[in-house]
Structure 1
Amino acid sequence: MPATLLPELGPWLVCAITVLVGTLVQRLSGAGYGMFAAPVMALVAPEWLPGTVVLVGFVIGAGSLLNARDAVEWRDLPPGFAGRILGAGIAAYIAAAVVGTDALAIIVGFVVLFAVALTVLGLTFPISGGSLFVAGGIGGVMGTLTGIGAPPMAILYSNIEPRRAAATQNAFYGFGAFVAIIALAIAGVLTLPQVAFAVSLAPLVPFALLASRPLAIRFERGAIRPWALGMATISALVLLSRSI
């Protein structure tokens, strides 16, 4: 547990920029915040993981959903939500063993690379109750441990109209972050410094969401995601090189 509530100014500013960029990417594409934010925060403020990433992720998911709730495919949500709850429960047991240890940084690095690989491979699966449940479960485990829970669901929506895909994914992401917060609290690894750090970063989210509105008109999902994947990959490789 960190000795202070907040990191020093330098790491705080790095994390603040990460939240701004990650929020823009998440709002425009429905995925990307966790892949970008988790490895960067693991590098500069590891004692505040995973709670800070997950808490800010909930604010981003909820805010993004409110901005495009008319495009959400509501009938897809129940099976995905059910899977997310199961995945978060499984992750809570794992979190109790790895949070606060060097193993968490290694897990974050490999989960980021796994998530990037899933996205780059361009896998496609039909959207059904079963596939939504499985994607929700895998995302629940990944998201609770690292804050990176969007990629499995993003695969299902890769060929769906961009606005509908982003809105529905943000609904899953916001709910998943909420469930992850509860799971981390039950596991006893959600600390006051993590909450305080998240509270200090959260006001940046509405600013980034507001800035994303004109960008949403000018950028398609495919135009911004390669940049996000590139930044996430570099961050994960640097993190792993320092942790292994």
Structure 2
Amino acid sequence: MAALLDLVDPLSWLLMACLVVLAAFLQGVGGIGFAMLVAPIAALVFPQLVPGPLLALGGSVSLLAALRERQAIVPGVVVCALGGRAAGSVIAVLAMTQLPIEAINLGFACAILAAVALSAWGLRILPTRGNMSLAGVASGIMGTLTSVGAPALAIAMQNLAPAQLRASLGLILFLGASLSLLLLILAGLFTVQQAMLSVVLYPFMLLGFALSGQLRHKVSLPLMRRLLLGICSISALTLIVRTLWA
């Protein structure tokens, strides 16, 4: 463990720990936010965290959110999204060895921005079977490639009640992250060192989630929609900037 900690300067560790606390707090309140906040910064400051360790941390906080409000889970929504997520994860692992990730990132970021714009202009996107399956495919691809798999799902589920969204999305993201991690392990893309990084940051994830306990009840549906669309927009724009900068 000491050798692992020596690989990163103390300031970077402090920044990453603070980001994990804040991201877990946002995830606990709004149902999304963990990977979307941490992944873009981690890719620049601490690239070893992307995608495997963030999938492990994000999947864990998603499971906690699902268990906390498990009575609000919508089974039909979860099943459709998971089918698409499984297909998307397989596509992503194949793409990681065949296609330039830059083109994939830009394409999905633009698609997310287009969906956000349509939602903001009044298009009512409902969590139908078809919409959830398509959102699941997009989530599987982006989640496996970049650790950020929530935006497509959040847009498709934005009109659910806040508790239903947090619980259902949490279960989808946990099971989807678990599948993505398994595929990365089988492909030799998730190392023991990356697993140790997840363990080191785990207490900070738990702290952020614990802080979200009371505030989640104060989030209304209109505020939830604005929060979701805002975080999705920031995530997509950051992904575009990061890809072009690289």
TM surpasses 0.5 = yes
Percent identity of equivalent pairs: 26
User: Where in structure 2 are the equivalents of 1:170-209 lying within 5 Å?
Assistant: 170-209=170-209
Q: Partner residue of 2:73?
A: 72
Q: Please, which runs of 5 or more residues in structure 2 have no aligned partner?
A: none
- Three-state SS of the structure 2 residue aligned to 1:188 is coil
User: Where in structure 2 are the equivalents of 1:42-53 lying within 5 Å?
Assistant: 42-53=43-54
User: Where in structure 2 are the equivalents of 1:1-244 lying within 5 Å?
Assistant: 4=4, 7-96=8-97, 111=108, 114-115=111-112, 118-122=115-119, 123-220=123-220, 221-222=224-225, 224-225=227-228, 228=231, 232=235, 235-236=238-239, 239-240=242-243, 242-243=245-246
Q: Please, which runs of 5 or more residues in structure 1 have no aligned partner?
A: none
Query: How many residue pairs align between the two structures?
Result: 237
Q: How far 1:153 sits from its partner (Å)? A: 1.4
Q: Note closer, same or farther for the CA distance 1:224–1:191 as it changes in structure 2 (3 Å cut).
A: same
Q: Note closer, same or farther for the CA distance 1:240–1:111 as it changes in structure 2 (3 Å cut).
A: same
Q: Is the 8 A contact 1:119 1:151 kept in 2?
A: no
Measure, in 2, the Cα distance between the counterparts of 1:28 and 1:120: 23
Q: How far 1:117 sits from its partner (Å)? A: 5.0
Q: How far 1:92 sits from its partner (Å)? A: 1.0
User: What is the letter of the counterpart of residue 143 of structure 1?
Assistant: G
- Three-state SS of the structure 1 residue aligned to 2:212 is helix
Q: Is the 8 A contact 1:64 1:167 kept in 2?
A: yes
TM-score, structure 1 as length reference: 0.84
Runs of 4 or more consecutive aligned structure 1 residues displaced over 6 Å after TM superposition: none
